[in-house]
């Protein structure tokens, strides 16, 4: 017999001819609470089969990994494998003391120690680190944690984590050194990490996190690369903590280099059958444009997709920049070569504690066995980042089981997707403050589904809604969902109306920027009045014959090329919708509406963003006349300075008639508020709006109406916009410079900010 030591506290005795050892049975000693069968289930050695020292080592590791044992001994006696174990004590209860900022439920989800689970010092040490990490995430990196145990007999103990939460850390200064093209304020807006302010206790953006800081540095690089600074680099980042005050000072030293423009652009192909000149039209950048890494990426993606769809799945597109001496220009050549033949062996998903594997896997257009394509990997990464489910996404590759096999490794870090929101707005004309509360989850149960429940109301309105969206309906990249809603409005002096109904919707991407959707809508509309004599003829009709039913179907094409959905600096967003009502119900009409908005940075240094928008709509009756509630009604959302239904045709008694045609136009410039740190999220704006609403096909019953003929309105004003922790809010003050005597003016508007 020979003996060897496999690990601390583990003695393994094997026959000399260990490579050919065979046992007849397994004997377990010391497994009183756990049970002999649990030990046997974790052995890689089976009676009647050969085993080797590597099997012994694997068995030992598996037994230790259960956490049930503090000591394991394995030896062979004749034809018997004897496994002797010393059991860890069991945990009777796990409690947390001293925690105020993180509740017991949160900490219980962080630690591995569980009641009726094993008591293991290694596990407790790991739990302490996990708790420290949870506290560091809320800015309390100096938390201290100790443990106490209480023996309750029968091999069981109570475990208590004693927590001293310490003081919250802050970031007092984020300094930049070496920046000439952009000021500190502009660069602060690029970072997700912010300096401490009066709302930091809510936003938690002033918490120093090394991983978050790395992401900020990447964002800073991309910002410079997309503004022509191809040589930009971060020289150093210095983080200093004042332990007396618990305050961080961060200093980022940069080297900007020169700003470049695009020189010549070409596509060269070494792939037989692929002509580079035929692909040149796919290049986004043009000679003379500012060099932007984003445009290079878009060009590579477009060329890769075209070549792959032409039957060359292994083709690789590599951009090569050539700096031209003395001209501050970069010529870019896109080289298309065959690439190495490789196939996807498997896709490994790691780090997802909330999101289910299939939600991540379905964002890949690749599956096991497919041809490996680097552009498809990058596209999947972009899709995962856009979902908003993850704080970080990293996709890497590793060699597979053979030279032509590749393993794709996806590392993600889940972030909370559920939120509770409270919003407020103010409406003049008697409604006053309007409050809204909502609960939404963008990643419901980790399935990638969206759900939202909301309720809002003021003195004269009530709104309730439930929305649900499945982004991958029937396993396809096809979003399907529904909305159920009910509204009550008594803001008019002579009547009230209720609307309740539902929408069934479906949308599918055509390209990365273009989406098609279809919606079926059904609504029940009920008008009531206690003084019908005061109503105009169109409203006497809708009150007398209520309720009304509307059944319609609409199709929409949407385009979105914005560089940022929250604060866009460049790009277009727009849509065009056609709707037909008459699939049953009382309404019979055809509507065509559309709107487009263009954003452009007017000054990078001052962060001034300009935008222009135009919109319009036409409506035609399909039965010789329309109902008054079906016609277009526009106001404060389209032209500030007027109430929600403030312009357009109106009956002589003031009842809103609406119109068959409308056009809108708006110009706006936004900028950081002078003297206020941009980290507070406050911006100012100046704007000019114009709109017209005209035409009518409602039976007026011989009564008079104003504004049926075309007439333009216009307003100018200023705004304060706040990216608050409760959602984007804005206050507009507008002064009508062109209006009609029967229009309803509303100079101040307070409510939710919208980019479109």
Domain range spanning residue 278?
261-337
Q: CA 633 to CA 630: how far, in whole Å?
A: 9
Does the pLDDT at position 253 exceed 90? yes
Please check whether residue 706 lies inside any domain of the structure. yes
Indicate if 312 and 360 belong to the same structural domain: no
Please check whether residue 520 lies inside any domain of the structure. no
Which residue, of 208, 238, 255, is where some domain finishes?
Answer: 255
Structural domain total, the chain:
6
pLDDT at 643: 87
pLDDT at 7: 40
Instruction: Please report which confidence band the pLDDT of residue 186 belongs to, taking 50, 70 and 90 as the band edges.
Output: confident
pLDDT tens digits for 537-577? 999 999 999 999 999 999 999 999 998 888 899 999 999 99
Indicate if 142 and 211 belong to the same structural domain: no
Look at the block and give the residue holding tokens 């796990």. Answer: 94
Which residue, of 337, 360, 385, is where some domain finishes?
Answer: 337
**What's the whole-number mean pLDDT along residues 71-75?**
86
Q: CA 114 to CA 95: how far, in whole Å?
A: 10
pLDDT tens digits for 208-243? 888 888 889 999 999 999 999 999 999 999 999 888
Q: Which one, of 677, 627, 579, lies nearest residue 183 by Cα?
A: 677
pLDDT at 423: 60
**What's the whole-number mean pLDDT along residues 650-668?**
94
Indicate if 155 and 204 belong to the same structural domain: no
Contacts of 404 (CB under 8 A, 6+ apart): 340, 341, 342, 343
Indicate if 59 and 132 belong to the same structural domain: no
Contact present, 744 and 642 (Cβ < 8 Å): yes
Please check whether residue 727 lies inside any domain of the structure. yes
Indicate if 358 and 248 belong to the same structural domain: no
* CA 642 to mean position of chain CA atoms: 34
pLDDT tens digits for 129-145? 999 888 887 878 888 99
Q: Which one, of 239, 237, 319, 323, lies nearest residue 284 by Cα?
A: 319
pLDDT at 752: 63
Please check whether residue 433 lies inside any domain of the structure. no
Q: What are the tokens at 664?
A: 């809108």
**What's the whole-number mean pLDDT along residues 456-475?**
90
Does the pLDDT at position 464 exceed 50? yes
Indicate if 584 and 715 belong to the same structural domain: yes
The total number of residues shown for the chain amounts to 756
CATH assignment at residue 73 = 3.10.20.310
Indicate if 664 and 580 belong to the same structural domain: yes
Look at the block and give the residue holding tokens 């410039």. Answer: 669
Contact present, 221 and 230 (Cβ < 8 Å): no
| 3-state SS assignment for residue 383 | helix
| 3-state SS assignment for residue 296 | helix
Does the pLDDT at position 21 exceed 80? no
| 3-state SS assignment for residue 39 | helix
pLDDT at 16: 45
pLDDT tens digits for 300-332? 988 988 888 888 888 889 999 888 777 789 999
Indicate if 662 and 718 belong to the same structural domain: yes
- Its sign, for the CA torsion 15, 21, 22, 23, is positive
| 3-state SS assignment for residue 643 | coil
Q: What are the tokens at 358?
A: 């299939």
Q: Which one, of 386, 364, 357, lies nearest residue 447 by Cα?
A: 357
Please check whether residue 277 lies inside any domain of the structure. yes
The CB-based long-range contact list for 233-242 (8 Å cut-off, 24+ gap) reads 233/257, 235/178, 237/213, 239/208, 239/213, 241/169, 241/208
Does the pLDDT at position 170 exceed 50? yes
pLDDT at 217: 92
Look at the block and give the residue holding tokens 């409760």. Answer: 726
Indicate if 580 and 726 belong to the same structural domain: yes
**What's the whole-number mean pLDDT along residues 153-175?**
87
pLDDT tens digits for 75-121? 888 788 888 888 777 888 999 999 988 888 889 888 888 888 888 88
Q: Give the bridge partners for 718, in sequence order.
A: 686, 733
Q: CA 279 to CA 86: how far, in whole Å?
A: 70
pLDDT tens digits for 671-720? 988 877 766 778 999 999 999 999 999 999 889 999 999 999 999 999 99
Instruction: Please report which confidence band the pLDDT of residue 492 belongs to, taking 50, 70 and 90 as the band edges.
Output: confident
Does the pLDDT at position 13 exceed 80? no
Contact present, 295 and 334 (Cβ < 8 Å): no
Does the pLDDT at position 360 exceed 50? yes
Contact present, 89 and 119 (Cβ < 8 Å): yes
Please check whether residue 511 lies inside any domain of the structure. no
Please check whether residue 559 lies inside any domain of the structure. no
pLDDT at 20: 52
């Amino acid at each position: 017999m020979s003996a060897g030591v496999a690990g601390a506290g583990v003695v393994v005795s094997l026959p000399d001819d260990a490579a050919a050892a065979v046992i007849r049975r397994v004997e377990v000693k010391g497994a009183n609470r756990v049970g002999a069968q649990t030990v046997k289930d974790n052995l890689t050695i089976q009676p009647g089969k050969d085993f080797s020292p590597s099997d012994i080592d694997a068995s030992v590791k598996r037994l230790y990994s259960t956490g049930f044992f503090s000591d394991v001994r394995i030896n062979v006696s004749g034809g018997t494998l004897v496994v002797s174990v010393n059991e860890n004590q069991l945990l009777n209860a796990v409690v947390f003391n001293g925690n105020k900022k993180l509740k017991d439920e949160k900490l219980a989800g962080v630690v591995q120690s569980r009641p009726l689970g094993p008591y293991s010092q290694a596990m407790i040490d790991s739990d302490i680190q996990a708790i420290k990490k949870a506290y560091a995430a809320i800015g309390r990196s100096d938390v201290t944690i100790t443990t106490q145990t209480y023996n309750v007999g029968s091999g069981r103990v109570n475990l208590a984590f004693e927590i001293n939460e310490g003081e919250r850390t802050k970031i007092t200064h984020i300094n930049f050194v070496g920046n000439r093209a952009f000021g500190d304020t502009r660069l602060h807006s690029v970072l997700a990490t912010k300096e401490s302010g009066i709302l930091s206790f809510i936003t938690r953006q002033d918490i120093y996190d090394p991983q978050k800081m790395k992401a900020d540095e990447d964002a800073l690089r991309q910002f410079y690369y997309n503004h022509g600074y191809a040589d930009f680099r971060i020289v150093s980042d210095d983080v200093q903590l004042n332990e007396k005050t618990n305050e961080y000072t961060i200093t980022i030293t940069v080297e900007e280099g020169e700003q470049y423009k695009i020189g010549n652009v070409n596509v060269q192909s070494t792939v037989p059958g692929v002509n580079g000149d035929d692909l040149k039209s796919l290049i986004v950048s043009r000679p003379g444009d500012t060099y932007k890494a984003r445009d290079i990426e878009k060009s590579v993606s477009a060329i890769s997709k075209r070549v792959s769809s032409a039957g060359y799945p292994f083709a690789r597109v590599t951009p090569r920049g050539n700096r031209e001496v003395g001209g501050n220009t970069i010529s870019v050549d896109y080289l298309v070569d065959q690439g190495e033949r490789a196939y996807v062996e498997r896709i490994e998903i790691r780090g997802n504690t909330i999101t289910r594997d299939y939600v991540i896997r379905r964002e890949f257009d690749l599956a096991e066995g497919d041809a490996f394509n680097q552009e498809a990997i990058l596209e999947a990464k972009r899709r995962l980042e856009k979902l908003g489910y993850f704080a970080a996404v990293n996709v890497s590759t590793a060699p597979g089981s053979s030279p032509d096999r590749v393993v794709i490794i996806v590392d993600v870090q889940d972030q909370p997707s559920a939120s509770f929101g409270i919003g407020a707005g103010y409406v003049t004309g008697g409604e006053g403050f309007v409050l809204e509360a909502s609960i939404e989850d963008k990643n419901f149960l980790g399935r990638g589904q969206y759900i939202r429940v909301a309720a809002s109301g003021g003195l004269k309105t009530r709104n309730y809604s439930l929305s649900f969206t499945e982004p991958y309906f029937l396993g396809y990249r096809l979003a399907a969902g529904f909305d159920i809603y009910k509204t009550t409005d008594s803001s008019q002096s002579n009547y009230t109306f209720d609307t309740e109904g539902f929408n069934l919707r479906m949308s599918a991407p055509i390209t990365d920027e273009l989406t098609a959707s279809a919606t079926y809508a059904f609504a029940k509309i009920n008008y009531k009045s206690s003084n019908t004599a005061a109503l105009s003829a169109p409203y006497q009709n809708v009150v007398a014959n209520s309720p009304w039913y509307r059944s319609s179907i609409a199709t929409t094409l949407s385009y979105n090329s914005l560089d940022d959905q929250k604060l866009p600096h460049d790009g277009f967003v727009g849509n065009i919708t056609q709707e037909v009502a008459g699939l049953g119900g009382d309404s019979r009409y055809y509507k065509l509406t559309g709107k487009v908005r263009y954003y452009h940075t007017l000054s990078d240094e001052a962060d001034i963003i300009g935008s222009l928008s135009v919109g319009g709509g036409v409506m035609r009756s399909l039965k010789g006349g329309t109902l008054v509630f079906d016609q277009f009604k526009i106001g404060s959302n389209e032209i500030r300075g007027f109430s929600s239904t403030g312009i357009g045709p109106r009956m002589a008694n003031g009842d809103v008639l609406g119109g068959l045609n409308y056009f809108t136009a708006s110009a706006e410039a936004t900028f950081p508020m002078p003297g206020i740190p941009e980290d507070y999220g406050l911006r100012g704006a100046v704007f000019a709006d114009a709109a017209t609403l005209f035409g009518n096909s409602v039976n007026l019953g011989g009564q008079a109406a104003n504004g049926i003929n075309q007439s333009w309105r216009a307003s100018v004003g200023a705004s304060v916009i706040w990216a608050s922790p409760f959602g984007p809010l804005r206050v507009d003050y507008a002064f009508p410079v062109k209006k009609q005597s029967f229009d309803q003016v509303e100079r101040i508007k307070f409510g939710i900010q919208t980019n479109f």
